[in-house]
Amino acid sequence: MNETTFGLVDLQLGPVIGVGAMATVLRARTRHGHPVAVKLLLPRHMANPETVAAFALEATVQASIASPYVPAVLGTGSTDDGQPFIVMDLLQGADLAHVLGTRTNGLPRREAVDSVIDACHGADALHRAGLVHRDIKPANLFLSERPVGPPRVMLIDLGIASTTIATSSEAAAPSTVVGSADYMAPECFDASGPVDATSDVWSLGVVLFELLTGKVPFAASPRAVPSALAGSIDVDAVTPSGLGEVVARCLSRPPPSRFSSALELADALQPYASNPKDTPTLVPPPPR
């Protein structure tokens, strides 16, 4: 990890640009004028040592992943009263949840596919580091503007991924239900198997369906059996049919029937992207 440490004297804090369950994110500048984002642990979590440790580990995890699809960590610091924060590259743009909120029926097909291909590369960077994100959803996919080239989707908020490796093997087992219900794979609910890269592939499939149609394939249910376990998806809502088959394979309930990696999913999506490959990837249909 970048061992640079910051104090508040090194930063000129600006407005709040985001508030989550664990932290507040502020716009800031370093003493050299470099724009950054500061993720500050909320005061109410300071009394929980596990949350403080998970926040610190999130910084370590994110800083160890060198990928253009994951925001870079520039260093860490703490306030005078010990409130920890993470200093990261400042992203310009909006998350995909916000983008979806401005569209009635989802995104244009190529825009949706390009976004998920970018997300696949971010997820792959985590998987190669031995991590599972466990909370891939539009709110954690940030459409970042760049000085040159089209916007790029960045995978953000690695807090749950950090928790996965911060706890014991029992705590990180699939019986621990973490994540957002609309996007969680069945094994995250019912302990039917390990939570691994294919669990993130499921989430990427849900995101793809939502970006293409404007709705999630499975609605979160207050019942004992979540819709992801009992419901079925309308693959015909996704066109062309080959792209629907890609979505269906992502959402195969047996994990071995899904794409084995995020990069395999990205490769299968290439024929439907803005710059498609010459030879489409054939996607076998999921088992009935």
* Residue pLDDT, tens place only, 177-190: 567 888 989 888 86
CA 121 to chain centre: 11
Contact 102, 111 (CB under 8 A): no
CATH architecture of 93-272: Orthogonal Bundle (1.10)
> So what's the pLDDT on residue 275?
86
> So what's the pLDDT on residue 8?
67
Alpha-carbon gap, residue 76 to 39, rounded angstroms: 9
Domain range annotation of the chain: 5-89, 93-272
| HSE, side-chain direction, 13 A CA sphere, residue 47 | 1
* Residue pLDDT, tens place only, 59-111: 888 888 989 999 999 999 888 888 999 999 999 999 999 999 999 899 999 99
Instruction: Find, among 32, 21, 18, 242, the residue nearest to 142 by Cα.
Output: 18
pLDDT at 206 over 70: yes
Contact 55, 41 (CB under 8 A): yes
The mean-pLDDT minimum among 157-161, 169-173, 218-222 falls in: 169-173
DSSP readout, 193-228? S---HHHHHHHHHHHHHHHHHSS-SS---SSSS-HH
The class level of CATH for 5-89 reads alpha beta
3-state SS, residue 36: strand
Instruction: Taking residues 121-139, report their average pLDDT.
Output: 93
- Most trustworthy range by pLDDT among 66-75, 214-223, 270-279: 66-75
Mean pLDDT over the full length of the chain: 84
Contact 268, 259 (CB under 8 A): yes
Contact 22, 159 (CB under 8 A): yes
Confidence of residue 172 (pLDDT cuts 50, 70, 90): very low
Catalytic residues: 135
